[in-house]
Structure 1
Amino acid sequence: MQMLEAIKKKIGSAQDLYSVVKTMKALAAVNIHYHTRAVEAITEYHQSIEMGFQALLKEKPEILKKPILRNERRMGIIVFGSQRGMAGKFNVMIANSFMEWERAKAFNYSQLKIAVIGERAEEQLKEIGYQPAARIDFPESRHNLNSAIQELLILVELWRFREKIDDIYLFYNKLKRGVIFEPFQFHLFPLEQGWLQELALRKWPSRNLPLYTLSWDQLLSSFIHQFFYISIYRAFIESMASENASRLTAMQKAEENIEERLDNLNSQFNRQRQNAITEELLDIIAGFEALAKY
């Protein structure tokens, strides 16, 4: 009976865990849907920012001819990971992607400034030999995104003006299709010359350029700030969608493992119960036979 009670207790624990896994799986699926829609909205807003740059470049195309001086020894890297666990290979993939990129570029590590988003990503980077200079906790929900974005924007401005960092890259996971995601890198600063040149050559959708009351320099500064904001926002949303995709995959595997575990435990329980019943029947028969002799 003690064996039966022990197995029954294990079955109860497995069923409780199974319920938690199914709930997490459902939440991950809902979050993926929400974040996918958010990415679509971001894309539309990004197009509006592009039109702003396009109008300014039509006004002063000569700024594209100015040489851009870069000090390749001063690189700023922002790696987006997760705050919580149970996300499969999510943090491993983005950390390894950055490591491969850094080695391929043959940079000296002392020339890099690394900031990381998420405690688990920081742990993963340290595990492969990097020491991030700053860490920002990943927001617990999308409703707290703005404060984290503002914190990153302050860091970007600090890097640009005080640290004199010349290139800033974002590293984050990005959904490809379904629940499949892949590491992605984005050159945040300086703005890509090829992209700006393409905007300058792009045909304006109407006959007249928009009028504005602010100075050209003020508008350019404002659009650059908006570009930074929306790029960081996109990185957060893409990363959150990928994290939930990874968690969904991990929960599906956990669900399958628990189902297999429950099948084994139920089989053990049935065998033990059958053995107990058989033993009781044999005891009854033995007792009956003993009484029959008298």
Structure 2
Amino acid sequence: MSSTIAGLRKTIDSAQDLHAVVRTMKALAASSIIEYEQSVHALDDYYRTVQLGLGVCIRNGGDAVLPLKHHQGVAAVVVFGSDQGLVGRFNDAVAHQAISSFGNSPHTRFWAVGERASEPLKDAGLTVDRLFGVPVSVSAIGLLVTEILGHYEAAFSRGEINQLHVAYNKAGSGVAFAPLAEKVLPLDENWRKTVSACPWPSGTLPEEIGTGPATLSAFVREFLFVSLFRACAASLASENASRLAAMQRADKNIDSLLGELTSQFHRMRQDGIDEELFDVVAGYEALNEG
């Protein structure tokens, strides 16, 4: 009996240690969500500013020199996932979105951000041409985006790729995340019409600084950068939201398990005490009868 109680006590101690780890991960995920969501909201405002600048350039005739207008060709699809687990169906969902949106074309190349994002792509029989590490902070996102754009520009200059798409999870209402697929390039006619239709927010007419093509090129580069940055930040926010939800479920399950184990421990200890008392009473009665 004592060995059984000791084993149960060890199990309870292990469960309590795991409980502490889960609660720490919950706190880290919750704080990370706030950081990445703030970044996404800030980027929304900046993205709008870049769109306004592009609209001015296009309305002034700059669209004649817009690059990357190809409608056909090889596309690179950047799939934003995670390097770490404990995120539920986070990686499976974004991979499925990428496959359903872009996987039917034999001219599609998949670039995965996160080791775990590449696994469902490979399981579907697709080749992951490039694998990038997941940023661990907002400040590291810019380095990743610069690296992705560097690979894209090099492939474009060699004539290997002329389209760029992204697939990522975004925090949704009522759920931890919702997978999305978006086109970043080419900058086609529909894109130009949408951007050029953006109304200027004030009564003061804007002016371009410098030459039109140079200004437009600078805005296009910034548009590409912020598009990828925003997708990555949204993915990281939803990843941590998914992890927080998983840790909340684990926290609840461990609480329930600890309750059951503690009750079992008390019952076994009480049974042991009762058994020892019965032995003492029986011994006492045997002595009196003797």
| 1:88 to partner: Cα distance | 1.2
| 1:42 to partner: Cα distance | 0.2
Cα 1:200–1:64 change in 2 (3 A) is farther
Note if contact 2:68-2:162 (Cα within 8 Å) is conserved in structure 1: no
Give 3-state SS (helix, strand or coil) of 1:194's partner: helix
Cα 1:132–1:47 change in 2 (3 A) is same
**Structure 2 Cα separation of the partners of residues 232 and 170 of structure 1:** 8
Cα 1:62–1:250 change in 2 (3 A) is closer
Give 3-state SS (helix, strand or coil) of 1:39's partner: helix
Alignment counterpart, residue 233 of structure 2, candidates 222, 237, 241: 237
**Structure 2 Cα separation of the partners of residues 182 and 32 of structure 1:** 15
Structure 1 residues 143-162: aligned runs within 5 Å: 143-162=139-158
Q: Deviations over 1:2-35 (max 9, x none)?
A: 0011001111110111111111112211221222
Moved more, 166-175 or 28-37: 28-37
| 1:66 to partner: Cα distance | 10
Give 3-state SS (helix, strand or coil) of 1:133's partner: strand
1:90 maps onto 2:90 in alignment: yes
Cα 1:195–1:36 change in 2 (3 A) is same
Alignment counterpart, residue 212 of structure 1, candidates 209, 212, 235: 209
| 1:161 to partner: Cα distance | 1.8
1:36 corresponds to: 37
Alignment counterpart, residue 187 of structure 1, candidates 160, 183, 191: 183
Q: Which amino acid aligns with 1:11?
A: I
Cα 1:195–1:70 change in 2 (3 A) is closer
Note if contact 2:94-2:169 (Cα within 8 Å) is conserved in structure 1: yes
2:100 corresponds to: 100
Note if contact 1:95-1:125 (Cα within 8 Å) is conserved in structure 2: yes
Q: Which amino acid aligns with 1:6?
A: G
Note if contact 1:64-1:193 (Cα within 8 Å) is conserved in structure 2: no
2:75 corresponds to: 75
| 1:124 to partner: Cα distance | 2.5
Structure 1 residues 165-180: aligned runs within 5 Å: 165-177=161-173, 179-180=175-176
Note if contact 1:179-1:245 (Cα within 8 Å) is conserved in structure 2: no
**Structure 1 Cα separation of the partners of residues 139 and 47 of structure 2:** 20
1:10 corresponds to: 11
Note if contact 1:167-1:190 (Cα within 8 Å) is conserved in structure 2: yes
**Cα-Cα RMSD:** 2.1
Moved more, 162-171 or 238-247: 162-171
Cα 1:160–1:67 change in 2 (3 A) is closer
Q: Deviations over 1:127-175 (max 9, x none)?
A: 2322201101112222322221211110121232224322211000011
Moved more, 133-142 or 197-206: 197-206
TM-score (norm: length of structure 1):
0.91
Runs of 5+ unmatched residues, structure 1: none
**Structure 2 Cα separation of the partners of residues 227 and 59 of structure 1:** 18
Note if contact 2:55-2:195 (Cα within 8 Å) is conserved in structure 1: yes
**Structure 1 Cα separation of the partners of residues 189 and 123 of structure 2:** 36
Give 3-state SS (helix, strand or coil) of 1:86's partner: coil
1:19 corresponds to: 20
1:128 maps onto 2:124 in alignment: yes
| 1:183 to partner: Cα distance | 0.5
| 1:65 to partner: Cα distance | 11
Runs of 5+ unmatched residues, structure 2: none
Q: Which amino acid aligns with 2:15?
A: A
1:54 corresponds to: 55
1:226 maps onto 2:222 in alignment: yes
Note if contact 2:30-2:244 (Cα within 8 Å) is conserved in structure 1: yes
Note if contact 1:179-1:249 (Cα within 8 Å) is conserved in structure 2: no
